[in-house]
């Protein structure tokens, strides 16, 4: 007997799952467009020329920069996190939060500042010549316009990612394990290498993967320093050679690198949690260092902060005040940046709420939302912009018209929705289940519970998500360069344009405004983490 239509199983997509699916498509469409074009397009003579002459150089340089950045970040972040977490020394309370400040400055801003500091007529070489009496031809000086120079700049900008995760891991170490190693006669150095680092390794890898994703996605610093990475190659293939399909194939390689790094981050996060199963588990208290050792550690932490934040930002302030160039032309890019960042963060916030709320309803929505948000975050801005250009060409819209602004806001949201979803998810998880049950018993539907119960309870996380989204979009450079309409400059675009034309004095003010915008959220994050650490230690 054939089953009738009444007996056939029907697939039903709930409203929440359907909404999450639509949000996921909005987030992931640019990545899909870039991937499809990279897989099935971009052949011909142009691609053959790239493969034979430049592909190896782009790939090898990108991987080399990632390797050097890894070394620099680990040297800066891990020792600083170790001493700040477990030792007491002069200035420790200040360094605990101040070492996060470099996150406020994008890599390209630090590249502009350090290039001015290290040039022949800059302050470092001028002091060197004054002290030694040598001329510029008589000594060797590091070249910032190189892969090691780019790695140094990106490590200065991004080492706080590893510092934060390592500090959290070190603060939650088991005192019993450390005491057992000491009772066996292990020296402090051996305890650190054989006991501490293996325990903290998953957390360190998680932070390192995030930093390396940002390094691989960077265009502004690499372009300014003349380092031929995949991001620079993608932009050149699209802009200089008018070969968007070839750029898509290069983008495919960059996406593979980014997804590989994200996979490492996910696996490290999964292995990074430690369950406390006994009351004997105790976190170690900070040990006071001797005066000499404490001063040496404080000097090392200050040197890191000086190199990564104080010196480059101070140099930008000095040049901006001394020259006053660009101050009259800053208003319009400033307003453009505010408009785009506000619109993008609003759309990303809506998408983040949709993804987070959907993930709480069923596993299908959770899986789809996680994949889409992760894909958008892993794909660099230059790749998402390239995908948007393909969609624009398929739909027949003009890049020069208002549609370009709409697409730019869309790309902002696609790129940074995951950054807003993380604090939202944490805030929603802290909401008491009894409130939702009470609202349900009073007849409130899901939307009413979201508006009247969940969002007010999660307001702190929502505020943090909004601030993070706004600042990240204010710093975005490659997507804005590729999609903005003519004569619609933002602070990031203006700073890049001035610096590329070797008018660094004019680039200082927009660079400083971008950094200043990032300082507020970073300081807020630092204070919250410090308070959380103090409450955990007291408890």
pLDDT tens-digit readout, 394-412: 777 766 667 788 888 988 8
pLDDT tens-digit readout, 151-205: 999 999 999 989 988 887 887 766 666 666 666 666 667 777 777 777 778 888 8
The DSSP-derived string for 191-239 is HIIIIIHHHHHHHHHHHHHHHHHHHHH--HHHHHHT---HHHHHHHHHH
Rounded CA gap, 307 and 304, in Å?
5
pLDDT-derived band at 428, boundaries 50, 70, 90: low
For residue 136, what are its two tokens? 């510029």
More confident residue, 494 or 379: 494
pLDDT for res 258 = 79
What mean pLDDT is predicted for residues 96-120? 90
How many Cα atoms occupy the beta-carbon half-sphere of 483 within 13 Å?
A: 32
What mean pLDDT is predicted for residues 420-449? 61
Note whether 330 and 516 are within 8 A (CB).
Answer: no
Which of 353-367, 447-461, 495-509 comes out lowest in average pLDDT? 447-461
Scan for tokens 């590893």, then name that residue.
162
Instruction: Reply yes or no on whether the pLDDT at 356 is more than 70.
Output: yes
Rounded CA gap, 389 and 38, in Å?
13
Instruction: Reply yes or no on whether the pLDDT at 271 is more than 80.
Output: no
Residue 88 carries which DSSP code?
E
Instruction: Give the Å distances, CA to CA, from 20 to 28, 333, 361, 368.
Output: 12, 35, 10, 7
What mean pLDDT is predicted for residues 21-35? 84
Residue 138 carries which DSSP code?
G
More confident residue, 55 or 269: 55
pTM: 0.82
Rounded CA gap, 128 and 120, in Å?
10
With CA atoms as reference, report the closest residue to 384 among 273, 247, 491. 247
What mean pLDDT is predicted for residues 412-423? 78
More confident residue, 224 or 13: 224
Rounded CA gap, 337 and 360, in Å?
34
Instruction: Reply yes or no on whether the pLDDT at 460 is more than 70.
Output: no
Rounded CA gap, 81 and 304, in Å?
12
The DSSP-derived string for 94-112 is HHHHHTTGGGGS-HHHHHH
Start-to-end CA distance of the chain, whole Å, equals 69
Maximum pairwise Cα distance, the chain: 101
Rounded CA gap, 454 and 287, in Å?
42
Instruction: Reply yes or no on whether the pLDDT at 5 is more than 90.
Output: no
* Number of neighbours of residue 59 by Cβ within 10 angstroms: 17
The pLDDT > 70 percentage for the chain reads: 74
Q: At what angle do helices 230-239 and 55-86 cross, to 10 degrees?
A: 140
> In 240-290, where does DSSP find H-type helix?
244-271
Q: Which residues contact 215 (CB under 8 A, 6 or more apart)?
A: 65, 66, 69, 107, 151, 154, 158
Instruction: Reply yes or no on whether the pLDDT at 379 is more than 80.
Output: no
Instruction: Give the Å distances, CA to CA, from 377 to 65, 259, 381, 412, 460.
Output: 20, 9, 9, 10, 23
pLDDT-derived band at 145, boundaries 50, 70, 90: very high
Chain-wide mean pLDDT for the chain? 79
Note whether 147 and 225 are within 8 A (CB).
Answer: no
pLDDT for res 256 = 83
pLDDT for res 388 = 85
Instruction: Reply yes or no on whether the pLDDT at 135 is more than 70.
Output: yes
Instruction: Give the Å distances, CA to CA, from 415 to 385, 412, 445, 472.
Output: 10, 5, 31, 10
pLDDT-derived band at 90, boundaries 50, 70, 90: very high
* Number of neighbours of residue 223 by Cβ within 10 angstroms: 23
What mean pLDDT is predicted for residues 336-353? 86
Rounded CA gap, 468 and 375, in Å?
19
Rounded CA gap, 342 and 353, in Å?
16
For residue 84, what are its two tokens? 């700040």
- Which domains are present in the chain? 16-50+326-500 (1.10.3720.10), 54-316 (1.10.3720.10)
pLDDT tens-digit readout, 48-88: 878 888 889 999 999 999 999 999 999 999 999 989 988 88
Note whether 99 and 160 are within 8 A (CB).
Answer: yes
pLDDT for res 362 = 65
Q: At what angle do helices 504-538 and 107-118 cross, to 10 degrees?
A: 120
pLDDT for res 274 = 45
Rounded CA gap, 46 and 176, in Å?
62
pLDDT for res 250 = 85
For residue 152, what are its two tokens? 């140094």
Residue 87 carries which DSSP code?
E
**Across-strand partners of 287?**
87
- What is the phi/psi pair of residue 284, to 5°? -70, 145
Instruction: Reply yes or no on whether the pLDDT at 496 is more than 70.
Output: yes
Instruction: Reply yes or no on whether the pLDDT at 305 is more than 90.
Output: yes
pLDDT for res 163 = 92
Instruction: Give the Å distances, CA to CA, from 476 to 223, 266, 385.
Output: 14, 24, 11
Instruction: Reply yes or no on whether the pLDDT at 10 is more than 90.
Output: no
Note whether 486 and 358 are within 8 A (CB).
Answer: no
């Amino acid at each position: 007997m054939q089953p009738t239509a009444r007996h056939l199983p029907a697939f039903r997509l709930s409203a929440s799952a359907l909404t999450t699916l639509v949000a996921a498509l909005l987030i992931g469409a640019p990545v899909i467009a870039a991937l499809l074009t990279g897989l099935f397009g971009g052949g011909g003579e142009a691609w053959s020329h790239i493969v034979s002459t430049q592909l190896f150089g782009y790939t090898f340089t990108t991987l080399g920069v990632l390797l050097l950045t890894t070394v620099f970040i680990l040297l800066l972040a891990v020792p600083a996190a170790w001493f700040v977490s477990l030792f007491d020394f002069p200035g420790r309370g200040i360094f605990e939060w101040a070492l996060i400040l470099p996150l406020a400055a994008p890599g390209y801003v630090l590249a502009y500042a350090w290039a001015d500091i290290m040039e022949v007529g800059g302050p470092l070489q001028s002091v060197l010549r004054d002290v030694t009496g040598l001329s510029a031809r008589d000594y060797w000086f590091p070249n910032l316009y190189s892969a090691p120079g780019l790695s140094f700049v990106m490590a200065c900008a991004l080492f706080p990612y590893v510092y934060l995760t390592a500090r959290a891991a070190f603060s939650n170490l088991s005192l019993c394990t450390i005491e057992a190693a000491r009772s066996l006669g292990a020296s402090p150095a051996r305890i650190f290498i054989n006991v501490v680092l293996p325990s903290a390794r998953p957390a360190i890898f998680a932070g390192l993967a995030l930093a390396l994703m940002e390094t691989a996605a960077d265009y502004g610093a690499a372009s300014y320093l003349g380092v031929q990475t995949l991001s620079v190659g993608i932009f050149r293939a699209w802009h200089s050679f008018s070969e968007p399909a070839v750029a898509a194939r290069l983008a495919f390689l960059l996406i593979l690198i980014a997804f590989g790094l994200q996979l490492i981050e996910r696996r490290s996060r999964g292995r990074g949690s430690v369950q406390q199963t006994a009351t004997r588990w105790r976190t170690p208290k900070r040990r006071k260092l001797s005066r000499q050792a404490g001063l040496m550690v404080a000097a090392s932490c200050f040197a890191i902060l000086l190199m990564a934040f104080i010196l480059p930002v101070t140099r930008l302030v000095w040049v901006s005040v001394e020259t006053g160039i660009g101050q009259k032309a800053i208003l319009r890019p400033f307003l453009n940046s505010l408009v785009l960042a506000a619109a993008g963060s609003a759309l990303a916030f809506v998408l983040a709420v949709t993804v987070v709320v959907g993930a709480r309803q069923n596993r299908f929505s959770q899986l789809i939302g996680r994949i889409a948000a992760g894909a958008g975050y892993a794909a660099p801005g230059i790749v998402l912009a390239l995908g948007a250009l393909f969609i624009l060409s398929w739909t027949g819209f003009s890049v020069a018209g208002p549609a370009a602004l709409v697409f730019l806001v869309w790309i902002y949201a696609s790129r940074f929705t995951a950054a807003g979803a993380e604090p939202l998810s944490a805030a929603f998880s802290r909401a008491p289940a009894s409130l939702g049950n009470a609202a349900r018993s009073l007849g409130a539907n899901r939307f009413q519970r979201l508006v009247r119960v969940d969002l007010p309870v999660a307001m702190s996380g929502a505020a943090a998500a909004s601030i993070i989204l706004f600042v990240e979009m204010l710093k975005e450079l490659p997507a804005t360069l590729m999609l903005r309409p003519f004569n619609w400059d933002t602070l990031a675009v203006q700073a890049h344009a001035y610096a590329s034309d070797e008018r660094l004095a004019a680039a200082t003010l927009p660079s400083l405004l971008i950094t200043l915008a990032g300082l507020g959220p970073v300081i807020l994050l630092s204070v919250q983490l410090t308070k959380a650490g103090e409450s955990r230690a007291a408890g």
